Amino acid sequence: MTHVVADPETHAAAIIDSVLDYDLVTGKITHQSANKVIDLIRAEGYQVDWILETHAHADHVTAAHYLKQQLGGQIAIGERISEVQQVFAKVFNLREEVGVDGRQFDHLWKDEEVFRIGSIEARVLATPGHTPADVTYLIGDTAFVGDTIFMPDYGTARCDFPGGNAETLFDSVQRLYTLPDETRVFLCHDYIPETRTDYRWETRILTQKQHNIHIAEHIKKEAFVQMRQARDKELAMPKLIVPSIQINIRAGALPEPANNGISYVKVPLNSIFAAK
Ligand SMILES: [Fe+2]
């Protein structure tokens, strides 16, 4: 899900977790999804101040760089993105091409950092576990939780990527559970369990505490960690993990073109992605 948050008074806006359309077979990148966001922003007369990432996604390519070119705004992500960059710069042997200090982003959030979208106050909450760099954006009475919890009937995000940790995710979710019960929770994905057919993207903290099948508040840490680790062993790698990571650690910019003018992504053979 991509979210647009706007202040009705000033028309200042933020875009959260955008996406490029990437064809895995051909490497063709198109912009239908991102252009829908641009159309909305222009139709409403919004001024984009922030292009926010909840983390470096492993299953889709961010449109952050493209949106910044089209609309302006600052691209921001959690400061621990540098840890993610360090791991993947090694995996893809990109050390000379990709700075591993977050320099590709305009702003790196510290835990509890406060910012504004027009007249609306927003706050960043570090919520690692899925990856080290995951953050939640608290904006007004809403929380954009990225890949932490999903709809109550689907559960939680996987924790088996490099730097992921189920115990850490448990602690992050307990942090989310200290938010007011009525906080509106907006999701990053809905994978739709077998028990329903429609996409959903909004729930509340109280509903999660009472009903989340993985991490309702009565579930103990040990039980959660055991469940999460067992489930992660069964999950395939996301189809777009190889291109996504290489582009997303660059804030959505394509790799520097080779001397023929074409940008390439690398596929590491028999590396960590083949361990599954
Ligand atoms: Fe993710």
pLDDT for position 273:
80
Q: How remote is the CA of residue 166 from the centroid of ligand 1, in Å?
A: 14
Q: How remote is the CA of residue 121 from the centroid of ligand 1, in Å?
A: 25
Q: How remote is the CA of residue 91 from the centroid of ligand 1, in Å?
A: 18
Q: How remote is the CA of residue 219 from the centroid of ligand 1, in Å?
A: 23
Separation CA 71–CA 82 (nearest Å) = 26
Q: How remote is the CA of residue 53 from the centroid of ligand 1, in Å?
A: 10
The rounded average pLDDT for each run of 10 residues, N- to C-terminus, in the chain (276 residues) is 97 98 97 98 98 97 98 98 96 93 98 98 98 97 97 97 96 98 97 94 98 98 98 95 97 97 96 78
- Exposed/middle/buried for residue 39 (C-beta within 10 Å: 0-12, 13-18, 19+): exposed
- Exposed/middle/buried for residue 162 (C-beta within 10 Å: 0-12, 13-18, 19+): middle
Q: How remote is the CA of residue 238 from the centroid of ligand 1, in Å?
A: 10
Q: How remote is the CA of residue 59 from the centroid of ligand 1, in Å?
A: 7
Q: How remote is the CA of residue 97 from the centroid of ligand 1, in Å?
A: 24
pLDDT for position 16:
98
Q: Mean pLDDT for the chain? A: 97
Instruction: Name the nearest CA neighbour of 221 among 179, 265, 168, 155.
Output: 168
Q: How far is it between the farthest Cα atoms of the chain?
A: 58
pTM for the whole structure: 0.96
pLDDT for position 95:
84
pLDDT for position 276:
65
Separation CA 57–CA 234 (nearest Å) = 20
